A = this chain, B = another copy of it.
Amino acid sequence: MRAVCVIGLGLIGGSVLRAASAAGRPAWGTTTSADDAEAARADGFDVVEVDAALRRAAAEDAQVVVATPLTAVRGVLREVAEHAPQAWLTDVVSVKDPVAAEVRSLLPQARYAGGHPMAGSSSSGWGASSGHLFSGAAWAVTLEDGTALDAWREAAQLALDCGAQVVPTTAGAHDSAVARISHLPHVFAAILAAVGADGGPLALSLAAGSFRDGTRVAGSPPDLVRAMTEGNRNALLDAVDDALGRLGAARGSLASTGGLKSTVDEGYDARRYLEDLATCDRTTETVRLDAAAPQRLRELGELGGRVVALTDDTATVEVPTAA
């Protein structure tokens, strides 16, 4: 099994190191956080300096995983360019276009496919990491026209080894999607929390499940939320505009007719669709990893399909029948 070198040992990077090790892959990590390094070593993991980690990655032809905040990615990629310029490379950063642009610029020879596991927690750091964090989760792995299929396959195999299911997509499609289902939810949670708090202790004393659920991720570390949302500016603006249009329409309907039928019904149908997609029957398609594979895999990703197994020359994709 290909070795794994994880750069950044917070919640996500730490969980990758744990899960890859548990899957039997040789794995080591590096981090600029003395606390995370000490905690990871205390848990029995191999943590070294970044240059040593990357030289070993080059020597062992390892998969390098960039697991730092977006703001630290450029510096890390410069280190990779110095020590392992042809590495098998992926990342787990929550936006994909900006990372892909940096890789094209700094590491044109790297065998890169971007990644994003859709799992998290409102806690952070190695102490919050878990080898089970990705079990059953979606993990986007980007597949552009210029992506080498073997680079995608290696990044996807890591996701499978971590217990996740792979969603094949492009960086642009990924960024648009997560603006809607991850970044806008964080903006909404923050605004909902603030509007509630404007009601004072009386309002917060009356708050129950709908408010607690709707504001939960507002408790996430602000610097991480800002890095994630601000890093996906253009796609998030589109999602915010969609939300503003819908909220304005709801306001207009409530003010003029007193009714919220369209808003409530569309929300109900959308939530049902989410649940149907998650629970419906799936068909299985085997995609041969040839020149036609990237387009077919992306098409299946658009339909909600997830890669659940890989061989050297095939991908097994499960596609929800409700799509």
Chain A residues within CB distance 8 Å of chain B: 118-120, 137-138, 140, 167, 169, 173-174, 176-178, 180-182, 184-220, 222, 225-226, 229-230, 233, 236-237, 239-244, 246-248, 250-251, 254-255, 258-261, 263-275, 277, 301-306, 320, 323
Judging by beta carbons under 8 Å apart, are B192 and A268 in contact? no
Q: A202-B303, A226-B259 are in contact. List 19 more A-B contacts (CB 8 A).
A: A118-B206, A118-B208, A180-B198, A181-B196, A181-B211, A186-B264, A187-B250, A190-B264, A191-B246, A192-B243, A193-B274, A194-B246, A195-B239, A195-B243, A210-B217, A218-B271, A244-B247, A244-B248, A247-B247
Judging by beta carbons under 8 Å apart, are A195 and B260 in contact? no
Q: Which residues of B contact A270 (CB under 8 A)?
A: 190, 193-194, 196-197, 215, 218
Judging by beta carbons under 8 Å apart, are A217 and B218 in contact? no
Q: Which of B200, B259, B265, B304 lies in contact with A202, CB distance below 8 A?
A: B304
Given contacts A194-B270, A208-B137, contact A250 B258 (CB under 8 A): no
Judging by beta carbons under 8 Å apart, are A226 and B264 in contact? yes
**A215, closest chain B residue (CB):** B271
In the complex, what's the smallest C-beta–C-beta distance from A134 to chain B, in angstroms? Answer: 11
Q: Which residues of B contact A188 (CB under 8 A)?
A: 188, 192, 214
Q: Which of B182, B201, B303 lies in contact with A304, CB distance below 8 A?
A: B201
Cα–Cα distance between A138 and B212 once the two chains are bound (Å): 14
Cα–Cα distance between A8 and B303 once the two chains are bound (Å): 44
In the complex, what's the smallest C-beta–C-beta distance from A181 to chain B, in angstroms? Answer: 4
Judging by beta carbons under 8 Å apart, are A267 and B194 in contact? yes
